[in-house]
Each structure stands twice: as C-alpha cells, then as structure tokens.
Amino acid sequence: MRKSLLILSIAGLLFSSGMIINYFYKSFQNKQTAQELSQIYHTPGKGEEGFKKLQGENQNIIGWIEIEGTKIDYPIVQGEDNDFYLTHDVEGKKSIHGSIFMDYRNDFSKDQNLIVYGHHMKDGTMFENLVQYKNKDFFDENREFDINLLGEKSTYEIFAISVLSGNEDYLKTSFSSKEEFLAHIQKLKDNAKFYRDIAFAGEEEIITLSTCSYEFKEARTVVHARKK
C-alpha cells in the first residue's frame, strides 16, 4: 500500500514538474518570437520596409503597439473572429499566450473606437503590464503610447483606466452621433478608476486596450486613450 502511494506521489510530482517546465518553455518561445519580430520592426533605417516584411509573414498583421515604460512592444493582428488569436501567435501557431489582436468588427479606417485585446500573462508578457495603470503614480507619469496601423503611426493620450465587466458596452466600435459618442465618454469617466480630464468635441478617435483582471468574475482591466 505504502509503495503504491509512493509511486502515485512520484508520478504526480513528475507530472506537475513537466507542466511547469512546459509552461516556462512556452514562455521562452513566446519571448523569443516577440524579440525576433521586434528586431524586424525596429531595425534602424528600415521603417516602412520592416512593417511590410512582417506583413509578408502574415497578412493579418495590421499594426504595431509600443507603450513606453512597459514591456508592451508587439505586432497587432486582426482575424475573422475574436477567438483564433486568443490561442494562436502571429505565425498562426498554437500558443497559450495568443496574440495582441484588434476586434474583428473594427474597420480602423472609419470606426471611432478601436478595440485591442491581449492576455494577462503571469510571465509579464502580452497585455499584463496594463495593470500597472491601476497605480495612480504610474497612470499620472505614463500618459501616451504609439500605434502604427498599416504604416501610419499615431500617438494616443490615455484618459482613463477602468476595471469593467467583459459584458459591458465599452466594446462599442461606432456611434451614430456626436451626442452618443460623448455619452459613451461620460460613461467611461463615471466608471473609471482614474480619469484624466481632456476635452472631447464628439469627433475624436479613441482606442480601448483590454485584458483580463481578477477583481471579480469576467473582470477586465481596460485602458482608454484618445488619438492626438
């Protein structure tokens, strides 16, 4: 009996160890892939050429997001749904890290609210660093980030950080009027953990960055920013 229990304990330990090793190996692979892509995109003097090279690898790569003060420095992909890139990297390979991806509904040539998702990974990758904005000092000191969409680089000014339900309508992509858009902004302000009071006239473009959070079931840490 004791021998059987010992064998079971050893088997359980080996299984757990294997799972841990597998996680760290996948984490290493993900970081290595991210570094390789970053080197292509950020190659000095290459500029647009680097972005086109990335698109040559995967036509679903539509942009790049870079947030100074964080580890967020990734390509943005957009698929035919919001499921595929939850479990696949930018090369289309299965990955627990998934990808940074734009909502499949978004037409970024006309939508006022672009929505970008990324996993909250325990190894500090993908959109995990968004949770830093829940610290008031970090929110105050880190006000902007850059996004390149199909070669057009824009700077966004962060105006709110929220913890919201994944079912809430912050995921609305377009608005029928200025009034509806301004009502949306007011709702974001009302629900924000921190809010930076910047002016809105109703025609601005905003972006929503969303990742998992753990304050309650289906919670999301959400960063809202206005295109400058």
**Quick check: 90 pLDDT over 70?**
yes
pLDDT band at 14 (very low <50, low <70, confident <90, very high): very low
Look-up of token digits 């929503």: 208
Kindly state the average pLDDT of the residues 169-175. Answer: 92
**Quick check: 125 pLDDT over 50?**
yes
For residue 51, what pLDDT is reported? 77
pTM flag (> 0.95): no
For residue 12, what pLDDT is reported? 47
Express each pLDDT in 32-45 by its tens digit. Answer: 766 777 787 876 55
Kindly state the average pLDDT of the residues 100-107. Answer: 98
For residue 48, what pLDDT is reported? 67
- Of 3-7, 111-115, 146-150, 157-161, the least confident: 3-7
The whole-angstrom separation of Cα 189 and Cα 196 is 9
**Quick check: 158 pLDDT over 90?**
yes
Kindly state the average pLDDT of the residues 174-179. Answer: 97
CB 117 within 8 A of CB 100: yes
The whole-angstrom separation of Cα 69 and Cα 71 is 7
**Quick check: 169 pLDDT over 90?**
no
Name which residue leads in pLDDT, 228 or 13: 228
For residue 10, what pLDDT is reported? 53
The whole-angstrom separation of Cα 25 and Cα 29 is 6
**What is the chain's mean pLDDT, rounded?**
86
Number of neighbours of residue 182 by Cβ within 10 angstroms: 15
Q: Determine what percent of the chain is predicted with pLDDT higher than 70.
A: 83
- 1, with CB counted inside 10 A (0-12, 13-18, 19+), is exposed
User: What are the residue numbers of the active site?
Assistant: 119, 212
pLDDT band at 57 (very low <50, low <70, confident <90, very high): confident
For residue 17, what pLDDT is reported? 46
Kindly state the average pLDDT of the residues 15-22. Answer: 48
Q: What are phi and psi of 148, to 5 degrees?
A: -110, 120
For residue 1, what pLDDT is reported? 55
Name which residue leads in pLDDT, 172 or 45: 172
For residue 30, what pLDDT is reported? 59
